[in-house]
Structure 1
Amino acid sequence: MYRILLAEDDNVMREYLTRALERSGYAVSAVDRGTAAIPLLETESFDLLLTDIVMPEMDGIELAQRAGEMAPDMRVMFITGFAAVTLKAGKAVPHARVLSKPFHLRDLVLEIDRLFESETVPTHN
């Protein structure tokens, strides 16, 4: 089972996404800001960081950059309602995917499914 770390400051959206992803077979740990994600990244292993870009304290781009240093094999997907930050995210974290709000839950799950299907997980010898 793939593990997802979700960072989303909007309570309703966070709960909505968590439920949808868990129903789709993913294990989800959800936090309400980037700074709350860092301790989890230090103690747990995740396959995907799913993060809003615009959040208080630490934005999703900075979180993704920190996460990349801590867990270089972890995939990153940004969700955002601000078109202007999409370009900034793409430049800052070029391997990340970006999904613009509003989106259908079905589209989010399909995009995450595709992310895991298209990228092979490194094997450790």
Structure 2
Amino acid sequence: MIRILLAEDDEAMRTYLGRALENAGYEVVAVDRGTDALPYLRNEKFDLLLSDIVMPEMDGIELAQHCAEVSPGTKVMFITGFAAVTLRASREAPQAKVLSKPFHLRDLVLEVQRVFGLSAQAQI
């Protein structure tokens, strides 16, 4: 089973995204900030880091840089509602996919499937 570490500071969004991904068949561990994600990345294996970019204490780009150091096999996908931040993410983490808010849950699941080369199988 594909394991996803979700870092999102907005509680409602974190819950919403986590449930959608679990319903699509993924195992999800959700945290509310980048600094809380670090111990998970160091101690557990995740296939994907799905992170908001704008968060307190540590932004998603910095988190992705730490992820590349401690868990280089983990793929990275960003979610954000800020266009300027999207440009920064594309420049500083060009291998990461950026999904701009607002998006439909189906779009999120499809993007996750694309990251892993899976065919469209989940229904949201």
**TM-score of the superposed pair, with normalisation by structure 2:** 0.94
1:21-100 maps to which residues of 2 (within 5 A)? 21-100=21-100
Query: How much has 1:73 moved relative to structure 2?
Result: 1.3
Corresponding residue pairs, total:
118
- Whichever residue aligns with residue 65 of structure 1, its letter is Q
> Aligned with 1:117: secondary structure?
coil
Please name the residue that 2:107 is paired with: 107
1:42 Cα deviation from its structure 2 partner: 1.1
Q: Does 1:5 align with 2:5?
A: yes
After TM superposition, the runs of 4+ consecutive aligned structure 1 residues lying more than 6 A away are none
Where does structure 1 lack aligned partners over 5 or more consecutive residues?
A: 119-125
How far the C-alpha of 1:75 sits from its partner, in A, is: 0.5
C-alpha separation in 2, matches of 1:70 and 1:95: 17
What amino acid sits opposite 1:81 in the alignment? G
The code of the aligned residue for 1:85 comes to: V
For the residue of structure 1 that corresponds to 2:95, the secondary structure is: coil
For 1:104, the aligned partner's letter is H
For the aligned residues, what is the CA RMSD? 0.8
1:19 is matched with 19
Amino acid at match of 2:74: M
Q: Which residue type is aligned with residue 115 of structure 1? A: V
- SS of the equivalent of 1:94 reads coil
Distance in 2, Cα, partners of 1:92 & 1:112: 20
Which runs of 5 or more residues in structure 2 are unaligned? 119-124
Quote the Cα distance in structure 1 between the aligned partners of 2:104 and 2:95: 23
Kindly provide the amino acid, as one letter, of the partner of residue 4 in structure 2. Answer: I
**Residue 91 of structure 1: how far off its partner (Å):** 1.1
